Amino acid sequence: MGKYRRLGKNTLLMFLGNIGSKSLSFLMLPFYTSFLSVVDYGTVDLIQVYVQLLVGLCTCTLTEAIFVFPKGQTFAMQQTYFTSGLLFSAGALALTGVLFAVVVLVLRTISYEGIFTEYNLSIFLMLCATFLQSYTQQFARSIERVNVYVVSGVVLTLTTVLTSLVTLPLWGLHGYIYSIIVSYFAAALYSVAAAREHTYFSPARLSWPRLREMLRYSIPMMPNSIMWWVSSSMNRPILEHYSGIEAIGIFAVANKFPLLISMLYTVFTYSWQISVLDEFGKPGYREFYNRVFRVQLLVFVLFVLGITFFCHSLIKLMTTTDYYEAGQYVPILSLAVVFSNLAGFVGTNFSATKESRHYFTTSLWSGLLCLVLNFLLIPFCGIWGVIVSLLFSNILMFCLRIRKTQAYSPITNVGLCLQLLLVVGGYIALFYWTESHWVHTLGLLLALAVVILLNKDFLSEAYSICKRLVKK
């Protein structure tokens, strides 16, 4: 029971710390879309896509290692890991800055104009800020300062919102970019101050053996990071080429709504990672793992049903008429995000076993499938090509990770999982088959009834467990 209590406590802490700030960020969408055109929104999304790729490449994904290795170590060893990783990353980012300057100079010499040449300084500053925020936040979690980790996320969101309220009306697109950069630096500074992370930085503690240890773990995750980017983000440059940057803006807004599901998963997964590292290999872990998987799947199913039902209303409520087209893409995107999150959940076992190579192999095949489908479908189907590619590649990644973990963490209720996913798929098909609100309502009620019926025993058991946990 203790493992459930710890997981519940950490998840609740994460939830309370993040739900308000994340919700605030989502509720700001009407403000953002009123000042940013579809092209502007697409530009911001494309910049963030490039940063997402570069932050892992330039720093060898050390933000992953800095959570795993200092955990449970002495203060001196934590100093060693923190300092070694930070100094290496600082040197790598400095070299990246030089390469940026050279590349921009070459591109301007040949009269190339694009996102990279126009916003190169913004991309580099956002790259540095993103790394620093992620590194300091993950280290805070590693040294058991979960409260700092949580509040850092709150600071990130609140700073973005507050600064954008000033900068966006004054400077438009550039103002919004500045607000994002400032917010990442602000969140990093908070983590350093609140967790006293500056006391862990000591150049004298630089250790090449410890750095190599972290790199041996993190470097195999770089291809995973790249292939994950290929699966989730490579579609943007391809979409820009064939459909224009306006299509990226529409897709970015459509993706905001499924990301509500990812928001919940992100809140949960960080507390789950702590539980996995603590409980993996102990008696009862398999049962614990399967129960948590089932709860997560149930929550995802309910959210997809709800978002599918309300998506058109939400789009009209939260955006301007230029973005209304985005509503039709939300249901399938939501299902794709569910499979991505489930794949991430199963993949946490790789961290517990330190078999990071499996991140790479599973992401490789998923990324290759997504890339092939992107080139085949986007030229003819535009945004629909992106969505179909995401859906099938995420399904493949989920299935591959299930297979890789079957030896030590098998999923025991595969039949039930398939039934729940069929219920969701059936309701989404109904959504596209007819525009009748009454049919959608009856279909939703029927789907909810089937979900409850399939999980009647589990829901009763979960209620009993929660009741006991509350009492204790």
Name residue 446's amino acid: L
Note whether residue 81 is domain-resident.
no
Backbone angles phi, psi at 290, to 5 degrees: -70, -35
For the chain, residues with pLDDT lower than 70 are: 1-25, 267, 270-271, 273-281, 351-356, 461-472
pLDDT at 77: 94
Contact partners, residue 96, CB within 8 Å, separation at least 6: 54, 58, 124, 127
pLDDT at 465: 61
Structure-block tokens of residue 318: 């939260």
pLDDT at 320: 85
**289-339, pLDDT tens digit by residue?**
788 788 888 888 999 999 999 998 889 888 888 898 999 999 999 999 999
Note whether residue 138 is domain-resident.
no
Rounded-to-integer distance, Cα 277 and Cα 352, Å: 5
Total count of domains within the chain: 1
Would residue 60 be called left, alpha or beta, if left means φ above 0 and alpha means ψ between -120 and 50 degrees? left
Note whether residue 362 is domain-resident.
yes
Residue that is written with structure tokens 């064939």 in the block: 242
Q: How many helices (H) and strands (E) does the chain have?
A: 20, 0
Note whether residue 105 is domain-resident.
no
Note whether residue 112 is domain-resident.
no
pLDDT at 7: 58
Note whether residue 180 is domain-resident.
no
pLDDT at 21: 55
pLDDT at 307: 92
Note whether residue 405 is domain-resident.
yes
Structure-block tokens of residue 174: 């550039």
Range of the domain at 234: 219-472
Pure H helices in 354-382: 357-381
Note whether residue 250 is domain-resident.
yes
pLDDT at 379: 93
